[in-house]
Amino acid sequence: MTEAEDVLGTAAAWSKAGEQVAIATVTETWGSSPRPPGSQMAVTASGRMAGSVSGGCIEGAVADAAKRTMETGAPQLLDFGVTNERAWEVGLACGGKLKVFVERLG
Amino acid sequence: MTPDLLARLEQARAAGRPVVLATRLPSGEQILLPGDGDASAGLATAAEAALQADRSQTVEADGAQWFLHAYNPPLRLVVVGAVHIAQALVPMAAGLGYGVMVADPRRAFATDERFPGVTVSTDWPDEAMDALRPDSRTAIVTLTHDPKLDDPALDRALRSRAFYVGALGSRKTHAARLGRLRELGHGDAALARIRGPVGLDIGAVTAPEIALSILAQIVAVRRGAALVG
């Protein structure tokens, strides 16, 4: 697996180097969501980012949620899509819906 | 994810062992399958199915929602012929996430300098293939243009469950090749598995362009794209 897709490997390396890391994973999708379940994004408290969970539409919001999870240690299951009020804030131009699980690593 | 679980997951992946990370939603409780004994039979079966289909998904088990993240070892690409096109093909395939192996008994071609960091076998192609044991997650491409090297590799490829078999060569070369493989006992169904001339018809001319056309075809076959004839 290459660095571009091996987000977990990248996250593990960051963690070993002493960074605080959270991982976001797409767990379910409906409609035309661009990235399938299993797609991941890693975020560090210092602001590094790897991977993706959408075509760029919701990565900002997921990074914010990841910061909260890093602080509290509590995982979150996020809903994104047209039926959700957040859709108006972060927007999924494709009209898809997805769930993203955010957890702290280590 | 706990440090212990991450370490075990990384260990399994480094060893090329297929595993599923099962996460209970939304609480986040996690187990690794197969291995962790406290999984229910239903969850274990669903995890096995996820690996088989190579698809991560959320399932219902024991009245709870579980996200099953399937971690299969990388797909493999076996390149027979350490030629110029192979030099372009190998790094591109690695970029797509394939574990790449090159086989060519001609030591002038199969050098570390030409293929830095790549597993190169200088065994005769049929022996190299026997050692590599291609499976249903393996693609095989022959590039030597030399029947005494390509044919034994293709013979082994057709006896394997490789999901993709491609052979470089013109239509005329390919027709002659099919005739020789038929004499080795391969029937129509087996011969129809060989993509030849190899690659999608994108008018490729240079070595990197031909490599791109081959990889595009491998991806299309792997993903079941409609453009595959």
Domain boundary among B71, B91, B121: B71
Do B56 and A37 count as a contact with CB atoms less than 8 A apart? yes
Structural domain contains residue A91:
yes
- Residues 6 or more apart whose CB falls under 8 angstroms from that of B78 comprise B101, B102, B103, B129, B132, B134, B138, B139, B140, B141, B162
- How many structural domains is chain A composed of? 1
The pLDDT of residue A90 is 55
Which pair of tokens denotes residue B222? 């792997």
Which residue shows structure tokens 């970029």? B95
Structural domain contains residue B146:
yes
ipTM: 0.86
In sequence order, what E strands does A3-105 have?
A: 21-30, 40-44, 49-51, 76-80, 97-105
Task: Give the tens place of pLDDT for each residue, B129-142.
Answer: 999 999 999 999 99
Structural domain contains residue B149:
yes
How many CB pairs below 8 A link A and B?
60
CB contact at 8 A, B169 and B179: no
pLDDT band at A85 (very low <50, low <70, confident <90, very high): low
Which residues of chain B are within 8 Å of residue A103 when distances are taken between CB atoms? 1, 23, 28
- Work out the minimum CA distance from A101 to partner chain B, whole angstroms: 8
Among candidates A1, A23, A27 on the partner chain, residue whose Cβ is nearest the Cβ of B97: A1
Q: Is A10 on the interface with B (CB under 8 A)?
A: no
Among candidates B6, B26, B69 on the partner chain, residue whose Cβ is nearest the Cβ of A25: B69
Q: Is B53 on the interface with A (CB under 8 A)?
A: no
Beta-carbon neighbour count of residue B91 at 10 Å? 15
φ/ψ region of A3 (left if φ > 0, alpha if ψ in -120 to 50, else beta) reads: alpha
- How many structural domains is chain B composed of? 2
Count of residues for chain A? 106
Do A27 and B58 count as a contact with CB atoms less than 8 A apart? yes
- Distance in angstroms (rounded) separating the CA atoms of residues B111 and B115: 6
The pLDDT of residue B111 is 95
The pLDDT of residue A81 is 80
Q: Are residues B22 and B42 in the same domain?
A: yes
- Distance in angstroms (rounded) separating the CA atoms of residues B30 and B59: 14
- Residues 6 or more apart whose CB falls under 8 angstroms from that of A7 comprise A23, A40, A41, A42, A50, A51
Percent of chain B with pLDDT over 90: 93
Q: Give me the domain span that covers residue B20.
A: 3-71
Q: Does A87 have pLDDT greater than 90?
A: no
Q: Are residues B157 and B172 in the same domain?
A: yes
Which has the closest alpha carbon to A36: B13, B218, B70? B70
Q: Give me the domain span that covers residue A69.
A: 7-105
Structural domain contains residue B228:
no
Which pair of tokens denotes residue A27? 């767990």
Structural domain contains residue A2:
no
Structural domain contains residue A95:
yes
Question: What average pLDDT does range A13-34 have in this prediction?
Answer: 93
**Following CA atoms A90, A96, A97, A102 in sequence, which dihedral angle do they give, to the nearest 10 degrees?**
-60
Q: Are residues B189 and B97 in the same domain?
A: yes
- Work out the minimum CA distance from B84 to partner chain A, whole angstroms: 23
DSSP reduced 3-state for B31: strand
Q: Are residues B118 and B48 in the same domain?
A: no
Which residues of chain A are within 8 Å of residue B55 when distances are taken between CB atoms? 36-38
Which residues of chain A are within 8 Å of residue B10 when distances are taken between CB atoms? 8-9, 12
Q: Does A91 have pLDDT greater than 70?
A: no
The pLDDT of residue A97 is 87
Among A8-17, A84-93, B112-121, which stretch is predicted with the lowest mean pLDDT? A84-93
Which residues of chain A are within 8 Å of residue B9 when distances are taken between CB atoms? 8
